[in-house]
Structure 1
Amino acid sequence: MVLLLRLALSCRCQTAGRNLQQIQRTPLRQWLLKRGQTTEGGHASVRAASIPNAASDRVLGRWLVGCSGLVLGAVVLGGVTRLTESGLSMVDWHLVKEMKPPRSEAEWEDEFSKYKQFPEFKIMNHDMTLTEFKFIFYMEWGHRMWGRLVGLAYVLPTVYFWKRGYFSRSMKPRVLGLCGFVVFQGLLGWYMVKSGLEEKTESHDIPRVSQYRLAAHLGSALLLYCSSLWMGLTLMLPANKIPDSRNLLQLRRFAKVTGGLVFLTALSGAFVAGLDAGLVYNSFPKMGERWIPDDLLAFSPAIKNVFENPSTVQFDHRILGIGSLTAITGLYLFSRRVHLPRRAKIAIGCLTAMAYTQVVLGISTLLLYVPTPLAATHQSGSVALLTFAIWVLAELRKVVK
């Protein structure tokens, strides 16, 4: 009996000792995990950011915002390339080979001779010199190299962060989607260029890329930009804890519709650029002597005018621009009825100021017959306006409990 009592007491003491050790180790283990450390075999090993937390979210947020900045640079550079009519100067596409531009005079002559075989030189630039060709070549080369830089900025950090365990389960497919979209964007760019290198059925057609492919290329770039910026801002900025109300719900919906309208307006600018529609009616607010031009429905079927008639394309862009300005003004006025944090008020104020600036830039570009510096600024302004719209949506997002 005494032996049984001693054995029972011994087991209870051992169990209590193990429980005490477990209690003592638990806070230490949590403290180590927060700092990416574990105790394995009695030795501390570092596993930086193996569990997603606020610090790793900030790192990822800055990376994605930086990537969106590079995409913004690609959009601006692409717009300048289009305005200077440089996009068809490189008639080949090689992922690695074309990264080194021509160096010797013989290499330049060889590249120039390739360009001479295509419609743009034969119809528009038959008197172009080698010096002039070098300028448009470097414009397109710079745009393509910037695109490769964007690809590396997405893919390489993704591999690094994936191995270090920075991504949560829900984050992984989204990041893979961004990387895949970058590759798709590059292929779509070459598909667009090919449309401008093809022989037209009518000899008097001006060589230019398809406005449909141009819009698809710009639209995919803007989608990539918006996705990266949205993900980056939501990771970097703590969500505002705004008390739910009917007005706040309506404001969120209003902001989403406004953001969609801004995106659609920017996308319509691709059709304006693709058809040189900014050169058909250089007056405002009327188009020539009329509010609605006579040739608005000159093409048949009628739907064709929306995408192929320069007069209709410019008219639609005007309507969308005025609609965006009206919506943003309404959003600003409605936001004054809602109690919002300071950051959200600043974001809406910046969106409103940029909207009026963008309209002034657009009208000035039209009245001055589309000078390249002003037109490039107007194109950049559309992305800046979209940026502020995404910022507003990030500030007004609903807190997930």
Structure 2
Amino acid sequence: MLSLVRQCRAFTPAKQFLGVSNRTLPKNGLVRTYMTPIWRRQPLTNLLKTRNFLKPSGAIIVRLNSNIPQKSKKSIGYWLMTCSGMVFVAVVLGGVTRLTESGLSMVTWKLLGEKMPRTEKEWQEEFEKYKQFPEFKIKNREMTLSEFKWIWHMEFGHRMWGRAIGAVFLIPAVYFWARGRFTPAMKKRVLAFGTLIGAQGLMGWYMVKSGLEDRFHGESDVPRVSQYRLAAHLSLAFVLYTLFLWSGLDQLLPAETITTGCKNAIKAARKFRMVAHTCKGLVFLTALSGAFVAGLDAGLVYNSFPKMADKWIPDDILALMPAMSNFTENPTTVQFDHRVLGTTTLTVITAMYLMSRRRLLPRRAYTAAAVFGALAWLQVALGITTLLTYVPTALAASHQSGSLLLLSSAVWLTHELKRLPK
């Protein structure tokens, strides 16, 4: 609409001012209905004046304002949902890369991407670089060149997918910004998205770098990335995914509200929204604890459920000193925390679902609550199965993907509750 006003003030021809042709004008009679009376009201002397002839009519501006922004919102919404879907795939690829122990195969990092070896000589040179680092020296001394190629391609695919996310985000963002499609609030979000994508890439390399350092000297040391950096890398991905999804829903599926004069019903609905946000926070916290489980390979200890080696609380839960270090460095404690958080989250989500059946909520919120509850039970079932079967790659990747699906349903539910009346 702002561009139309600027064109009008510049006294451009009417066809350019309208920005449409006869073929693109709507044929429902709405514009013609408004235009005919407007021009008939103009005295002939006024029509002969260029200034009055080009003066914009409020009817036309309102008509165009109801169409163009709606198309822009949909285009922006589809773009944001595409970005969120790509982040989802990146999380899955990252989980598979970790489970196949491919993450340390590429020992260099370049902003625009590493060159893939083409000849056998180039592959051998890349393999020689890998041999200089702890993972090969301590763990993979018997690895062949063909085996190295496989893990290298896994890591290469993960990195290039991350760079593809940056391109798919950046190019449309520049276009929409230049065309004036973003509101001031959306501009701030776009800047935040870009910052998070850049930070995610840097954190990914910072995480990999921790596994390449010469710090594995104990007999039982296994070369791996820092669990702290892994948790930070995964958390950034989850935050980025959540923001993309929330913003995409804003554009494509605006939240509904409820219409009621009962203050108690409104008050109960707002309290339910607080519970839904609490569930979302618990899902995020449980997923974060899962990153520590992955970083320490804690899923390979105490493969029984619900007890851990016939005990509810294992003996070595506080084996490290100082005691607080057990929560992030002791595999037993990390797995125990993940179990407790998972069980607590499931209980709270189930209570939330039962509560939703007794509250007046927006129409789609009931569906979102049901999906949220069902996915919570599925996620716990996947987690237990993964533990009992000693963490097979397919199940473990499904469990990690399930955590993101669960978070998606939590975001959807809380988004549906954002417009409750005060």
Q: TM-score, normalised by structure 2?
A: 0.84
Is residue 25 of structure 1 aligned with residue 41 of structure 2? no
Amino acid at match of 2:256: N
C-alpha distance in structure 2 between counterparts of 1:139 and 1:24, whole Å: 59
Is residue 214 of structure 1 aligned with residue 230 of structure 2? yes
Task: Say which of 266, 280, 292 aligns to 1:271.
Answer: 292
C-alpha distance in structure 1 between counterparts of 2:147 and 2:217, whole Å: 27
Task: Say which of 169, 174, 178 aligns to 2:193.
Answer: 178
C-alpha distance in structure 2 between counterparts of 1:245 and 1:253, whole Å: 13
Aligned in 2, Cα 1:201/1:355: closer, same or farther, shift over 3 Å?
A: closer
Encode CA deviations 1:340-386: one digit per residue, 9 max, x unaligned: 34422111111111111111110000001111111111111111100
Contact 2:216/2:223 (CA < 8 Å) preserved in 1?
Answer: no
Query: 1:60 offset after TM fit, Å?
Result: 1.2
Amino acid at match of 1:336: R
Identical-pair percentage: 57
Query: 1:23 offset after TM fit, Å?
Result: 8.9
Tell me the number of residue pairs that the alignment of Structure 1 and Structure 2 aligns. 373
Is residue 382 of structure 1 aligned with residue 403 of structure 2? yes
Q: Secondary structure at the match of 2:57?
A: helix
Q: Could you say which residue in structure 2 is the equivalent of 1:71?
A: 87
Root-mean-square deviation (Å): 2.2
Q: Could you say which residue in structure 1 is the equivalent of 2:99?
A: 83
C-alpha distance in structure 2 between counterparts of 1:143 and 1:280, whole Å: 28
Task: Say which of 364, 378, 382 aligns to 1:361.
Answer: 382
C-alpha distance in structure 2 between counterparts of 1:343 and 1:330, whole Å: 19
Q: Could you say which residue in structure 1 is the equivalent of 2:144?
A: 129
- More off after superposition, 356-365 vs 200-209: 200-209
Matches within 5 A, 1:132-281: 132-200=147-215, 202-204=217-219, 205-243=221-259, 245-281=266-302
Task: Say which of 324, 332, 339 aligns to 2:360.
Answer: 339
Encode CA deviations 1:255-292: one digit per residue, 9 max, x unaligned: 00000000111111110000000011100000112100
Is residue 120 of structure 1 aligned with residue 135 of structure 2? yes
C-alpha distance in structure 1 between counterparts of 2:398 and 2:61, whole Å: 55
C-alpha distance in structure 1 between counterparts of 2:178 and 2:52, whole Å: 36
Amino acid at match of 2:213: E
Contact 1:239/1:399 (CA < 8 Å) preserved in 2?
Answer: no
Aligned in 2, Cα 1:259/1:298: closer, same or farther, shift over 3 Å?
A: same
Is residue 310 of structure 1 aligned with residue 331 of structure 2? yes
C-alpha distance in structure 1 between counterparts of 2:61 and 2:249, whole Å: 31
Runs of at least 5 residues in structure 1 that lack an aligned partner in the other structure = 1-11, 36-48
C-alpha distance in structure 1 between counterparts of 2:102 and 2:249, whole Å: 34
Task: Say which of 293, 315, 326 aligns to 1:294.
Answer: 315
C-alpha distance in structure 2 between counterparts of 1:241 and 1:350, whole Å: 19
Query: 1:165 offset after TM fit, Å?
Result: 1.0
- More off after superposition, 334-343 vs 157-166: 334-343
Aligned in 2, Cα 1:167/1:289: closer, same or farther, shift over 3 Å?
A: same
Amino acid at match of 2:324: I
Amino acid at match of 1:164: R
Query: 1:29 offset after TM fit, Å?
Result: 3.6
Q: Could you say which residue in structure 2 is the equivalent of 1:3?
A: none
Query: 1:173 offset after TM fit, Å?
Result: 1.1
Aligned in 2, Cα 1:223/1:97: closer, same or farther, shift over 3 Å?
A: closer
Aligned in 2, Cα 1:16/1:127: closer, same or farther, shift over 3 Å?
A: closer
C-alpha distance in structure 1 between counterparts of 2:54 and 2:157, whole Å: 61
Q: Could you say which residue in structure 2 is the equivalent of 1:7?
A: none
Query: 1:236 offset after TM fit, Å?
Result: 1.1
Runs of at least 5 residues in structure 2 that lack an aligned partner in the other structure = 1-42, 260-264
- More off after superposition, 322-331 vs 55-64: 55-64
Query: 1:31 offset after TM fit, Å?
Result: 3.0
Aligned in 2, Cα 1:239/1:33: closer, same or farther, shift over 3 Å?
A: closer
C-alpha distance in structure 1 between counterparts of 2:267 and 2:64, whole Å: 44
Query: 1:238 offset after TM fit, Å?
Result: 2.4
Contact 1:226/1:387 (CA < 8 Å) preserved in 2?
Answer: yes
Contact 1:61/1:235 (CA < 8 Å) preserved in 2?
Answer: yes
Q: Secondary structure at the match of 1:303?
A: helix
Aligned in 2, Cα 1:341/1:115: closer, same or farther, shift over 3 Å?
A: same
Aligned in 2, Cα 1:144/1:24: closer, same or farther, shift over 3 Å?
A: closer
Amino acid at match of 1:284: F
Query: 1:68 offset after TM fit, Å?
Result: 0.5
C-alpha distance in structure 1 between counterparts of 2:199 and 2:308, whole Å: 38
